[in-house]
Amino acid sequence: MPLTLKIALTHLNSRRRQTLMSLLGVMLGVAFFMAVSSLMRGSERDFIKRLVDSAPHITVSDEFRDAPVQPAVKRFPGAAVSISNVKPKTEVRGIRGYKQKMAYIERMPGLRVAPVLSGQIIMTYAGKEQGVLMNGVVPELMAGVSDIEDKIVAGNMQALSSSPNGIIIGRALAKKMNLAMGDNVTVSSPVGLVRTMKIVGLFETGATAIDEGQAYVLLKRAQVLLDRPDRANILVMQLDDPYASRAVAARIEKRIGYRARSWQEASESLLSVLLVRNIIMYSVVSAILVVASFGIYNIISTVVMEKRRDIAILKSMGFTARDVRHVFLWEGTIIGLMGSVGGLALGYSLIWVLSTLSFQVPGVTVPIEMPLYWGLDQALIACAFAALSSMGAAYFPARKAGLVHPVDILRGQA
Partner 1 sequence: MTVTEVLRAENVTRELTGEVPVTLVKNASLSINRGEFVSIMGPSGSGKSSLLYLLGLLDMPTSGKIWLDGEEVTTLTERQIARVRLEKLGFVFQFHFLLVEFSVVDNVLLPMAKLGRLTDKEQRERAEALLVDLGMGDQLRKRPDQLSGGQRQRVAIARALANDPLIILADEPTGNLDSKASANVREILSELVHDRNKTVLAVTHDPEFARAGDRQIHIVDGRIENDELRPD
* Positions in the binding site for partner 1 (CB under 8 A): 3, 6, 10-11, 13-14, 309-310, 312-323, 406-407, 410-411, 413-414
* Other C-beta atoms lying within 10 Å of the C-beta of residue 236: 24
The residue among 320 and 349 lying less far from partner 1, judged by its C-beta, is 320
Strand partners, 261: 59
> CB of 319: closest distance to partner 1 in angstroms?
6
How many Å apart are CA 179 and CA 123, to the nearest integer?
Answer: 11
Beta carbon of residue 26, minimum distance to partner 1 (angstroms, whole number)? 23
CB 225 within 8 A of CB 189: yes
- Give the shortest CB-272-to-partner 1 separation in angstroms: 56
Q: How many CB atoms neighbour CB 66 within 10 A?
A: 6
The residues near 15 (Cβ < 8 Å, ≥ 6 apart) are 303
Q: Closest CB to partner 1 among 13 and 360?
A: 13
Q: Decide whether 319 or 330 has the Cβ nearer to partner 1.
A: 319
Q: Dihedrals φ, ψ of 199, to 5°?
A: -70, 115
Rounded to whole angstroms, the Cα distance separating 202 from 216 reads 10
| Chain CA centroid to CA 93, Å | 35
Indicate the residue among 36 and 329 with the shorter CB distance to partner 1. 329
Which amino acid is present at 337?
L
Collapsed DSSP state (helix, strand, coil) of residue 132: strand
Shorter beta-carbon distance to partner 1: residue 62 or 323: 323
Among residues 13 and 84, whose Cβ is nearest to partner 1?
13
Q: What amino acid is encoded at 399 in this protein?
A: R
CB of residue 2 vs partner 1: minimum separation in angstroms?
10
Residues 6+ apart with CB under 8 A from 285: 32, 33, 36, 37, 382
Residues paired with residue 59 on neighbouring β-strands, in sequence order: 236, 261
Q: Using the 8-state DSSP alphabet, how is residue 146 labeled?
A: -
Choice between 24 and 321, CB closer to partner 1: 321
Nearest distance from C-beta of residue 350 to partner 1, angstroms: 35
* Least separation in angstroms between CB 6 and partner 1: 8
Q: How far is the CB of 395 from partner 1 (least distance, A)?
A: 20
Task: In angstroms, give the least distance from the CB of 300 to partner 1.
Answer: 16
Shorter beta-carbon distance to partner 1: residue 9 or 250: 9
Contacts of 44 (CB under 8 A, 6+ apart): 274, 277, 278, 373
| Shortest separation between residue 308's beta carbon and partner 1, angstroms | 12
Q: What is the DSSP string of 234-281?
A: EEEEEESSGGGHHHHHHHHHHHH-SEEEEHHHHTHHHHHHHHHHHHHH
Pairing, β 214-218 against β 152-155: unpaired
Of 276 and 414, the one with the shorter C-beta distance to partner 1 is 414
Q: Are 206 and 172 in contact (CB under 8 A)?
A: no
Cβ within 8 Å of residue 346, ≥6 positions away = 27, 28, 30, 31
Shortest reach from residue 413's CB to partner 1, in Å: 6
User: In terms of DSSP bridges, do strands 194-203 and 152-155 run parallel, antiparallel, or are they unpaired?
Assistant: antiparallel
Amino acid in the structure at residue 227: D
